[in-house]
Amino acid sequence: MDMMKYSTILACLMLVTTAAFAQERDNGSFSAGLETNTTYYLDDSKTGASAPEGHMGSNNYLKMDYSWKGFYAGVQLEGYLPALSGYFPMNIRGENFLRYDAYAGYSGEGWDVRLGSLYEQFGSGLLFRTYEDRTLGINNALQGVRAGYTFGDFLTVKAIYGRVRDIKDYTNAMVSGADLSFSVSRAASWDSLEWTVEGSVLDKYEHVETEGTGAVPHNTGYSARMALGYGGFRLSGEYMSRRSDPGFYNYQDSTRCEAVQVDFGYTGNGFGGLLTFRKLKNPFFQGYRSASDMYTYINYVPALTQQHSYALATLNPYTTQFDETGGQADLYYNFRRGTTVGGRKGMKIHANFSTYYGGILDMVTGVRGADELLFRDLTIDAERWFGRNFKMILFYSWQTFNPATNGHASELWNSHTVVADMTYKFDRKNSLRMELQHLYTKEDQKNWAAILLEYSFAPRWSVSLTDMWNYGDTGIHYVNGNVSYSYGKIRAAVNAGRFKEGYLCSGGVCRLTPAYTGVNLSLVVSL
């Protein structure tokens, strides 16, 4: 019996037996969550969107957890019937498949032990991170064991061992590692100064025969981190180094993987700021060598730029490159309520500037060019209430985007996006929100305009209508409407219309989604 079957069966048995035993002595705690996201696709000659065979896509998740005192166990079932359009590599799109993961563990008296499916992160994730993001379709959990112990409140050590998850199954790639976090200030009982030092080591091994060299060697790496805090100031840094894992996904790059990140921040007196510098070289860590996509990366290297929420500002988001140097400055100031500028409820001003340079990777030859501008974004936004019922947000973004980062040969694209986001509250339950957006550019598909109207009947109903119009080139309107309903721990939404091809981003990680036209139903139920 292989490791996956053994640990899954053991975790399920622990879930059942723990629940049964707990019912005799104590009620314990049970929770469950169901999520379904289903779309019916239509052909659309205007956008070129083509409905997949069967016209359906459906992602479904059922997660159940039980805890009793320090013990816990759970299982997650996933059903792709088939997966929504744009999810997963081409070779499994259109397939119907089910999978499940189970886990059990104990947390208490300084111990944290888990068996089965597990998520973990060392530091910021540059060396290692496993996590789930259903928006992107990422679930790179290890299947194995994690054990950790905390000594007092100043030292934590943990170790992991397990095999890498693929989309449909687990692979033969094995990962082992350890992490240590030591608070010097707590150990020394310092009150004003915070000082933490951390370090991690990691090893990945899979038996892959390569011509002329035999088995691929172990892929080993480490990271070292330190953080200092005093008053409202905070300084932190991380260095990661790892042996390269040449494969299709990084064009057989054999140079050593390295990353440096430094953050300096301050908060106080209504002001906050964060300065970040990062340098990357071949940073991505594929879970197994033959993979060629992001779904099995076992580290986390998000784009450190402003994560925009307005549609036109996200048409060409920056994605982390194999070779980049840059950073961002993020600043905000809150004017106090009751002042002339702050008004009745205060006013928030925010500015962000990010820029990155690096050598573009030639997709054919795998050769990197000389350093050039990859991305630059200057964003300014302000939020203020006028009276007690009307709120306005004004937003501006000036972006310079290098299309070569997405495989397009072209000159730099420059765009200017302005947004007016207005909300009027009629009473405690009823409110109307309107977004007016405009993007000006001479490149790509030229000018865009967008409008959103949303009426909320708190706390249950919300209705919205959106139109994105590319009036500078194609003349296509991307119109869609949404109706959502919430009651207790149930939330349902129906979304119908036309959606543009583009990048869907979550937490600084993006995946390309094809254009589609159709009707989407999402349902979330939790117990």
Higher pLDDT, 401 or 251: 401
Tell me, yes or no, whether 107 lies in a domain.
Answer: yes
Q: 492 is written with which tokens?
A: 């349902």
Please check the confidence at residue 448 and state whether its pLDDT lies above 60: yes
DSSP strand pairing (477-487 vs 461-469): antiparallel
Give the model's pLDDT for residue 42: 95
Give the model's pLDDT for residue 291: 81
Work out the percent of the chain whose per-residue pLDDT is above 70.
92
Give per-residue pLDDT as tens, 145-154.
999 999 988 9
Give the model's pLDDT for residue 363: 62
Query: Which residues, at least 6 apart from 15, have a Cβ–Cβ distance to it below 8 Å?
Result: 64, 66, 73, 74, 75, 102, 104
Q: 247 is written with which tokens?
A: 């494969």
Q: How many CA atoms lie within 13 A of 274 on its CB side?
A: 14
Q: Report the distance separating Cα 21 and Cα 17, nearest Å.
A: 6
Tell me, yes or no, whether 5 lies in a domain.
Answer: no
Tell me, yes or no, whether 210 lies in a domain.
Answer: yes
Q: Report the distance separating Cα 120 and Cα 141, nearest Å.
A: 8
Tell me the sheet residues that pair with 27. none
Q: Where are the beta strands (DSSP E) in 282-345?
A: 323-335
Please check the confidence at residue 3 and state whether its pLDDT lies above 50: no
Q: Name the burial class of residue 506, with classes exposed (0-12), middle (13-18) and buried (19+) by CB atoms within 10 angstroms of its CB.
A: middle
Give the model's pLDDT for residue 215: 54
Please check the confidence at residue 27 and state whether its pLDDT lies above 80: no
212: alpha, beta or left, given left = phi > 0 and alpha = psi -120 to 50?
Answer: left
Please check the confidence at residue 362 and state whether its pLDDT lies above 90: no
Give per-residue pLDDT as tens, 467-503.
999 999 999 999 999 999 999 999 999 999 999 998 8
Give the model's pLDDT for residue 117: 94
Tell me, yes or no, whether 430 lies in a domain.
Answer: yes
Q: How far from 424 is each of 346, 429, 432, 460, CA to CA, in Å?
A: 17, 11, 5, 18
Tell me, yes or no, whether 268 lies in a domain.
Answer: yes
- Out of 23-27, 157-161, 243-247, 288-292, the most confident range is 157-161
Answer whether 366's CB lies under 8 Å from 386's CB.
no
Answer whether 472's CB lies under 8 Å from 446's CB.
yes
Confidence of residue 413 (pLDDT cuts 50, 70, 90): very high
9 membership: H or E segment, kind and range: helix 3-25
Tell me, yes or no, whether 71 lies in a domain.
Answer: no
Stretch 24-30: mean pLDDT? 73
Give the model's pLDDT for residue 407: 77
Tell me, yes or no, whether 77 lies in a domain.
Answer: no
Tell me, yes or no, whether 283 lies in a domain.
Answer: yes
Give per-residue pLDDT as tens, 87-113.
888 778 888 999 999 999 999 999 999
Please check the confidence at residue 7 and state whether its pLDDT lies above 50: no
pTM for this structure? 0.88
One-letter amino acid at 44 equals D
Count how many domains the chain has.
Answer: 1
Work out the percent of the chain whose per-residue pLDDT is above 90.
69
Give per-residue pLDDT as tens, 184-234.
999 999 989 999 999 999 999 987 665 544 555 678 999 999 999 999 999
Stretch 223-250: mean pLDDT? 91
Question: What value does the mean pLDDT of the chain take?
Answer: 89
**Torsion sign across C-alpha atoms 296, 297, 298, 300:** negative
Which structural domain, as residue segments, surrounds residue 185?
Answer: 40-53+99-526
Q: What is the CATH number of the domain that holds 369?
A: 2.40.160
Q: Where are the beta strands (DSSP E) in 408-476?
A: 413-425, 430-441, 448-457, 461-469
